[in-house]
Chains A and B, each alone.
Chain A
Amino acid sequence: MTGFVKENWSNLLLLAFFVLLATQPVTRWAGLYLGACVCLGFLLYRKQDPARGPRRWRAGGRLLQVVGPALGLLVIAQVLWDAPFNVGLAISVFVGLGALGLHHWGGLLSLPDAHEVMKRDPRPPVVFLRSFKEEERQVHSTPVGERDGGEAVTDHSFPASREQEMAQALDRIGPFVAIGRPGEPLATLGAARVYLGDGDWKAFVEAMVPCSAAIVLQPEFTPGTLWEVGLVVKAVDLRRLLLVVPDPAVRPFRYARVRGLVSETFGVSLPEADACGSCEAFYFDRGRRPVALRLSPPSALDPFVAHVNGLGPPRGVS
């Protein structure tokens, strides 16, 4: 219990504030709506048993996506009508954020499982192999770390992953699938996830890789990703590979390490960091020559999509 309070003290404080709002006649509905949003957040993001995969409820999610924002609009109308204008406006902002949150959670709840996606779409899949650490990485506008003295500098951050853009583009080749991180409370946007235990994921990847239309590999130096690199070297036609690399213009040191790994394992030479400019991925043409790409906007991947679609079905598919 104390652990829960420690982890969620800010949300509990927010909940107390919303309960206080609910005690007042003019802000009753706003308080109830916002309180319900916080409680739903607690329910959805509570720890999930890794063996069970994330929470999914397709019908419920769709309903939440529609009913949540609709109720939010009604509450905003009521509070703007009944409360003093400045109070109503401030509370409407909260309610609007709550409505957006409900819509987002509804979307995550209704995301289909990778098996379901592949059942619906019979084309050979595009498998995304990456380390979970890289999936979590954030890009910060300022150097990260504790510092003494001086004026504080405002930091902005956003997720480094380009998975959602890739999902949009690669959908034109086949269903985009990936292994999900065990214990995730809700599924993630981007590739459709399959959730497997520690012992099962290698068997799944081994079965999927040879019959995939394309492989998106983000090489890292974790044991799991190195195993995946080894498998891709053995089982995949290099022309079907999209190699996601650290952008040499902003991560030259990591790019150099990945370049070394690729040269050692695949026997192909990526351009030097200085020669390549800004790029985020490579695919390999018929002569095994690397072609640099960016991953955003999704149309930047058009050359790779056209290249793979021109190759015909993969070796493992009759």
Chain B
Amino acid sequence: MSEAKPFSAQLRRRALLADIKGNIVMALISLGLVPWGLYFLLGKCEDCTGWNVGGVIIGLGMEAGSAALAWYMVRGIRERAAPGGDALSEQLRPYGDPRALAGELDADFVGQRLRPKRLFLGKRWLVYCSGEPVVRRVDDLVWAYVEAIKVRLNGVIPLGTNYQLAVWERSGRGAAMGLKKEEAEGALAALGEAAPWMLSGFTEAVKESWNSDREDLLAFVEGRRKKG
């Protein structure tokens, strides 16, 4: 079995693949919208003859949507291609120099293979990757909880419940990581051990304090951290 590449390199590779996949889908949608828009604009829609403004609106909307998607895609590619514009660097930049921090990340997960939709908890870093990577510094975390999201077909027919671990850090930035229920609960417990000062679990009081009285909440968490 070959030796695992540095963790940061694995993350970058996976993010690049996700980017390419996303861009292919976007390009297909954008190209597909052009002929449909023309079809409506040129009045070929038989259903629209009774109320022809509908065809014009739909056609214009489709062409505008196609242009917007193409613009969004090109902008994204240009941003990613710029030096330090890759997804991992973007995640690390709020904490300092991405290059130096990538080294810390490699040290935290030395010899580990990145697997999608798995949470990796090191001494200093929390990493999750399902396409775009999510990287958070454990030291900065203030609040984590498991979120249950009811999935409904067309907003009506219940299909089940998805679970994700949500974490918030002191800068106000959050992240959500889709996991199985047991995995999410286990990850929350593990995080609680790694960062004992952190508030664990969702309550109305923490949510409202986070939204309205964040300074007070952060001071409280900081107090817990100092107490150890």
Contact = CB atoms under 8 A, between A and B. Distances in A.
Interface in B167-210: 168, 172-178, 204-205, 207-210
A24 B51 contact: yes
B164 A151 contact: yes
B14 to A, nearest CB: 13
Interface in A226-274: 246, 249-254, 256-257
The 9 closest A-B pairs by CB, nearest first: A150-B176, A147-B174, A253-B216, A254-B213, A250-B208, A149-B134, A150-B164, A24-B53, A148-B175
B16 interface: no
Contacts of B173: 145-148
Interface stretch (A54-62, A134-142, A169-177): A134-142
Contacts of B168: 143, 145, 147
B204 A250 contact: yes
B228 interface: no
B213 A253 contact: yes
A51 interface: no
Contacts, number: 102
A20 B147 contact: no
Nearest to A83: B51
A216 interface: no
A153 interface: yes
A256 B217 CA distance: 12
Interface in A37-59: none
Interface of B: 50-54, 56-57, 91, 128, 130, 132, 134, 143, 147, 149, 162, 164, 166, 168, 172-178, 204-205, 207-213, 216-217, 219-220
A21 interface: yes
Contact of A149 (B130, B172, B207, B209): B130
A149 B204 contact: no
Interface residues of A, number: 34
A151 B51 contact: no
Nearest to A139: B208
Name the prevailing secondary structure of the A interface residues. loop
Contact of A246 (B51, B91, B213): B213
The listed residue with most A CB atoms (<10 A of its CB), out of B147, B149, B211, is: B211
Interface in A149-208: 149-151, 153, 160
Interface of A: 17, 20-21, 23-24, 26-27, 83-84, 87, 137, 139-140, 142-151, 153, 160, 246, 249-254, 256-257
A249 B143 CA distance: 18
A151 B174 CA distance: 12
Contacts of A140: 207, 211
Contacts of B210: 143-145
B117 to A, nearest CB: 10
Contact of B216 (A84, A143, A146, A257): A257
B220 A253 contact: yes
Given A23-B53, A252-B209, A150 B166 contact: yes
Contacts of A142: 207
Contacts of A151: 149, 162, 164, 176, 178
